């Protein structure tokens, strides 16, 4: 749950960052031995390979599970996987897809998934738009975009993940009544997101009270990044938009 920034074995982690990507760096400090081992051992079983035909039903991505998932949730830019793993542990009846191009974050998540024995998670480690275009219509019940890279300089705003094209992708993939959830501590990005969502017209903001968007939703996990933002005086905003 961090800046929209992502490695995987088959379909992820092989290409260098392209100029138009929505994420920044691919790797920071060298991986620890246990993280490298987790990527080698567990990632091939978790990774989604876009070179394979898209299944008619996205539930087929979890065909190895004992039961068909009740719903599928996508988290874009999951950072170290804190929120993704937490919810996957709480809800074995649901299926979760996580996108993260930042290799260090992917390694942390893969290790946590393996340590917890989670069978209801699949991962993708390239730019999320490729996955969004690959998945079938109406396959998701929820999309989380939590603390994406705000690209604060105006000349970089075109790289913000919330844009008309991606909102169209969200609308295509979400079932009627499905939710797009967004969190950020950057005021300009909050206003940007509200404007683009309203302009799209295919979503409704679910807030009922003036302070609703200041409160995280149930099952929220606060990360070190969020805690730092609060210490530095930035106020997080939490939005739920429902697909019409």
Identify whether 38 is part of a domain: yes
Which domain, by its residues, includes 146?
33-243
Instruction: Please check whether residue 77 is in contact with residue 21, taking contact to mean a CB–CB distance below 8 angstroms.
Output: no
- Residue in the structure block whose two tokens are 């599928």: 72
Residue where the block lists tokens 């929220």: 220
Instruction: Give the DSSP H or E segment for 168.
Output: helix 164-173
Q: Find the CATH number of the domain harbouring 102.
A: 3.40.50.150
Rounded to 10 degrees, what is the CA torsion of 26, 30, 34, 39?
30
Residue 71 and residue 142 in contact, taking contact as beta carbons nearer than 8 Å: yes
Number of domain units in the chain: 1
Residue 97: partners with Cβ closer than 8 Å, 6 or more residues away: 48, 61, 72, 73, 74, 75, 121, 122, 123, 124, 131
pLDDT tier at 38, thresholds 50, 70, 90:
confident
Residue 154 domain-assigned (yes or no):
yes
**Domain-embedded: residue 165:** yes
Q: Is residue 153 part of a domain?
A: yes
Active-site choice (127, 144, 149, 185): 149
**What digits encode the pLDDT tens for the residues 73-124?**
999 999 999 999 999 999 999 999 999 999 999 999 999 999 999 999 999 9
Residue 236 belongs to a domain: yes
* 13 is a domain residue: no
Place of tokens 């974050």: 105
* Pairwise pLDDT comparison (10 vs 41), residue with the higher score: 41
Question: How far is it, in rounded angstroms, from Cα 161 to Cα 228?
Answer: 22
Residue 149 falls in the annotated catalytic set: yes
112: in domain: yes
pLDDT bracket for residue 128 (50, 70, 90): very high
């Amino acid at each position: 749950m961090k800046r929209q920034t992502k490695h995987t074995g088959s379909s992820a982690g092989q290409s260098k960052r392209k100029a138009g990507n929505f994420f920044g760096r691919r790797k920071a400090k060298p991986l620890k031995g246990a993280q490298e081992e987790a990527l080698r051992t567990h990632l091939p079983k978790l990774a989604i390979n876009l070179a394979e035909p898209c299944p008619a039903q996205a539930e087929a991505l979890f065909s190895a599970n004992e039961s068909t998932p009740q719903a599928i949730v996508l988290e874009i830019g999951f950072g170290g996987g804190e929120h993704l793993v937490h919810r996957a542990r709480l809800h074995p009846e649901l299926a979760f897809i996580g996108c993260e191009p930042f290799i260090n974050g992917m390694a942390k998540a893969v290790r946590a998934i393996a340590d917890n024995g989670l069978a209801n998670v699949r991962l993708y480690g390239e730019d999320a738009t490729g996955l969004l275009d690959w998945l079938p219509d109406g396959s998701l019940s929820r999309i989380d975009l939590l603390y994406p890279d705000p690209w604060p300089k105006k000349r970089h705003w075109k790289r913000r993940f919330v844009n008309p094209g991606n909102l169209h992708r969200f609308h295509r993939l979400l079932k009627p009544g499905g939710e797009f959830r967004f969190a950020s501590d950057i005021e300009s990005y909050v206003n940007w997101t509200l404007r683009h969502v309203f302009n799209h017209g295919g979503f409704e903001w679910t807030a009922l009270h003036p302070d609703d968007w200041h409160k995280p939703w149930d099952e929220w996990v606060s990360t070190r990044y969020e805690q730092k933002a609060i210490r530095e005086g930035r106020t997080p905003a939490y939005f739920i938009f429902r697909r019409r």
